[in-house]
Amino acid sequence: MIRRNPLKALFYLNLLIVVLLVGYKAYLNLFAPRFESVHTIEVDQIHERLKDPERFSFAVVGNINNSVGIFEQKIIPRLNRSGIDFMVSAGNAVSGGGEDKYRALYGTLTHLAVPYLLTFGQQEYEEFGSYRFYQHFGPYFYSVRAGNSLLVFLDTTPKTSWRWQIRWLQELLDNNPSTHTFIFTGHPPHHTGQSLPFVEKDDYLQPEAFRQSLMKVIKAHKVDAVFSANLSLYSRQTIAGTDFIVTGGAGGLVLNNKTSFYHFVKVTVNGDQKTIELKRMDTAQNPLYKRLEGLWSFIYSLFYVGFLNFALLVSALAIVAIKLYSLVFVNRDYYPNYDLDPSPWLERPLRIAQFTNNYLPFIGGVPISIERLRRGLLALGNQILIVAPNYRGQPEDEQQVLRAPSLLALGEKREFRLANIFLSRIRRRVKAFRPDIIHVHHPFWLGSLGLYIGRRLRIPVVYTYHTRLEHYAHFVPLPGMLFRNLISHALIKRFANKCDGVIVPTYSAEEYLRMIGVKSDTFVQPTGIEYQRFQAVEEDDIQSLREKLGLRNERVLISVSRLSNEKNIDFMIDAIARLKASTDRPFRLLIIGDGHQRDRLQSRIDEQGLDQQVTLVGPVPPEDMATYYRLGDLFLFASKSETQGMVILEAMAAGLPVVAVRSSGIDDVVRQGYNGYKTPENLDQWRDRVKQLLDDEAQRQTLSTQARSFARDYSVEQFSRDVKAIYATLLASAAR
């Protein structure tokens, strides 16, 4: 019965994999054990490795740049075989200061078989990397004693004051008992004399005062060598007995010429002697491989665990591939399937389970619509089970209604009930009923339960879109704009797309669903009205009601609405105040209905001096409504939250022309100048249309006749037959 799509299942499986991997990345960044103050651990390991303080060696590399293809795969294996005791990075070990780059570097350095120390370079500093360097490795400038040698690391970025460092370096070297001294500066303190493309002044040590002060300190003390990076080349110059070495070939972009090539430098200390050797790498990367490595480096830095890179990449590509496949290769037919034959289901009784969040005795458009559909379907020989909340005053013996106790009652008069959908007896009763189809009337709570049961029973589920949820934001404990502009539409879209079909009362409602992305089959089916009941009202009953309400010669204006914010009753009261000021014709507006805004609205009526023109009648039993409608001369409506406005059709059935504010649901029912008028939400325009029909008796009678004729096509009997035809169509589609 239920269509299965393995491609869709694969898509969501891959999406789940991506979500899990992203969650794992979040775990690694937020909860995984952190690496902090790594240099303290590395220094301890250096001291442990140096058995003979007079004889050891170390390698100096520069511009690692998170390189996988060169540094990790080529240089590290060679360093591990070279017999060095430790490694020093002269700067730019990362391609940027982001957390992912630092973690990727840490993962790369775990492949080293020897301890290491890092110089704080320009790229360690970028993208707020200074904080991460300090947290993960240690201070920006520091010194380490290795055997008979002193290693000094300076910060040549703008992070640390150069004057402070020069003072610190001067005091350090003044009291230096070491045989050898090596300084690491990140930026070259002396021009190499070689020209390279894209090299700028800032690639060397700045400012000039820093450079001059550093050179002065170096000349005043015995410094064996100064190592730096930041340039993609190799350069060695000897000035006043000190070697100035630029080593920038550990993985960054090189030109593969006589000065710019992949390499590292090996320093060997033997007593009071030291040797510095260039170790050139006989390898090169063509531009294509370099670009591929850049992509790999990006992925590598995301997760820094090999197999996850592949899993993430494959999953992401699979999602894209499946989406592209569904868009390009899957044939789509946007027209209805005219080969369906619903007649077998039209010709036999159906068992229909309906789920609703509100029902009689609660008075509202949705409960009344459901009750009329129930009676109409029963008259056609079908069986009905309605699942609805408990209410006080409900009938004691309801054979066709399954009531669920309420967990919570909302609203000033506790009119909105949150039923207990977790009761197993609800599912057992519905299953025992053996429904052919499930009809839900709300996109959440009991509606969601109906959808769940329908999927479990593998039968079609149809949803009637009754309510514009965005106009009910004041009932929801969330920021109004968030619910109105995002959550309400997303909720309806998601729910409707899970259903096999959606019934909408008007074409404007259907257009709305398509605009928000609803793909399910939609059926435009206005709610029916009991047309004949409005024709059967006795004149004596009308006169008795007129006397009861104290009406004399006034024109009677009728409005039927719940007294709530979304019904826009404040607009109607303001417009009536303007009507009172612009006409001498006596009139009385009867507003029928109840709600949590009643006291506030009554105060507003009193404040504007409309107590003789506007009466809040309160709730009226459904069986008496036809008489109230027939009492009136004109029907007024200002709500913009309707999907159809069933009370408008009822008013027309009683012969009342309508003046309404233009909105969805109203546009399809009120025909301008034929059965009434619809205006923008403009007080003067709305007031003028009401005044026009009050003053022009002939036009009002013409529109009255035409309104009654228009409403005749919306009988409950026809409504029930049409809804059963929709059920039959969905059952035929499911059978295929």
User: How do residues 114-133 score in pLDDT, each as one tens digit?
Assistant: 999 999 999 999 988 999 99
- Tell me whether residue 722 is in a domain: no
Helix axes 446-457, 488-498, angle to 10 degrees: 20
257/357 same-domain check? no
Contact yes or no for 300/313 (Cβ under 8 A): no
Query: Domain boundary residue among 489, 524, 559?
Result: 524
More confident residue, 31 or 678: 678
Query: How much is the pLDDT for 199?
Result: 74
44/25 same-domain check? no
Residue percentage of the chain with pLDDT more than 70: 88
Distance CA 467, CA 365 (A): 9
Q: If you average pLDDT over every residue of the chain, what do you get?
A: 88
- Tell me whether residue 294 is in a domain: no
Which of 335-339, 384-388, 602-606 is least confident? 335-339
DSSP code for 149 = E
> Which residue from 671, 688, 591 is spatially nearest to 639, judged by alpha carbons?
591
- Tell me whether residue 719 is in a domain: no
- Give the residues across from 591 on adjacent strands: 559, 616
> Which residue from 185, 198, 125, 200 is spatially nearest to 152, judged by alpha carbons?
185
pLDDT band at 305 (very low <50, low <70, confident <90, very high): very low
514/619 same-domain check? no
More confident residue, 364 or 60: 60
511/548 same-domain check? no
Length of the chain: 736
> Which residue from 568, 556, 571 is spatially nearest to 693, judged by alpha carbons?
556
User: How do residues 663-672 score in pLDDT, each as one tens digit?
Assistant: 877 877 899 9
The mean per-residue pLDDT over the stretch 691-717 comes to 93
SS (H, E, C) 80-148: HHCCCCEEEECCCCCCCCCHHHHHHHHHHHCCCCCCEEECCCHHHHCCCHHHHHHHHCCCCCEEEEECC
Distance CA 241, CA 222 (A): 8
- Tell me whether residue 337 is in a domain: no
279/317 same-domain check? no
Query: How much is the pLDDT for 683?
Result: 95
Distance CA 587, CA 644 (A): 27
Q: Where do we find the tokens 């730019």?
A: 92
328/347 same-domain check? no
Q: What is the CATH number of the domain that holds 394?
A: 3.40.50.2000
Sign of the alpha-carbon torsion through 572, 577, 583, 587:
positive
What pTM did the predictor assign? 0.55
Amino acid identity, position 65: N
Q: Could you tell me the strand order of the sheet in which 555-560 lies?
A: 614-618, 587-592, 555-560, 634-637, 658-661, 676-679
20/43 same-domain check? no
**E runs forming strands in 392-499:** 401-404, 406-410, 416-419, 437-440, 461-464
- Tell me whether residue 181 is in a domain: yes
* H runs (alpha helix) in 434-568: 446-457, 480-482, 488-498, 507-515, 531-535, 539-548
Q: Could you tell me the strand order of the sheet in which 86-89 lies?
A: 116-118, 86-89, 55-61, 263-270, 273-280
- Give the residues across from 97 on adjacent strands: none
- Tell me whether residue 721 is in a domain: no
666/605 same-domain check? yes
pLDDT band at 218 (very low <50, low <70, confident <90, very high): very high
277/316 same-domain check? no
Q: Which structural domain, as residue segments, surrounds residue 589? A: 537-714
Q: Could you tell me the strand order of the sheet in which 521-524 lies?
A: 401-404, 383-389, 351-355, 437-440, 461-464, 501-504, 521-524
Distance CA 315, CA 309 (A): 10
- Angle of CA points 676, 682, 685, to nearest 5°: 50
193/141 same-domain check? yes
User: How do residues 284-298 score in pLDDT, each as one tens digit?
Assistant: 655 555 555 555 555
Q: What is the CATH number of the domain that holds 112?
A: 3.60.21.10
H/E stretch holding 234: strand 234-239
pLDDT band at 528 (very low <50, low <70, confident <90, very high): confident
440/477 same-domain check? yes
Distance CA 549, CA 552 (A): 9
pLDDT band at 526 (very low <50, low <70, confident <90, very high): confident
Query: How much is the pLDDT for 476?
Result: 58
281/395 same-domain check? no
Q: Tokens representing 516?
A: 């928000």
- Tell me whether residue 160 is in a domain: yes
Structural domain count, the chain = 4
Distance CA 59, CA 278 (A): 10
- Tell me whether residue 293 is in a domain: no
Distance CA 210, CA 472 (A): 67
Query: How much is the pLDDT for 23?
Result: 74
Sign of the alpha-carbon torsion through 69, 72, 75, 78:
negative
DSSP code for 70 = I
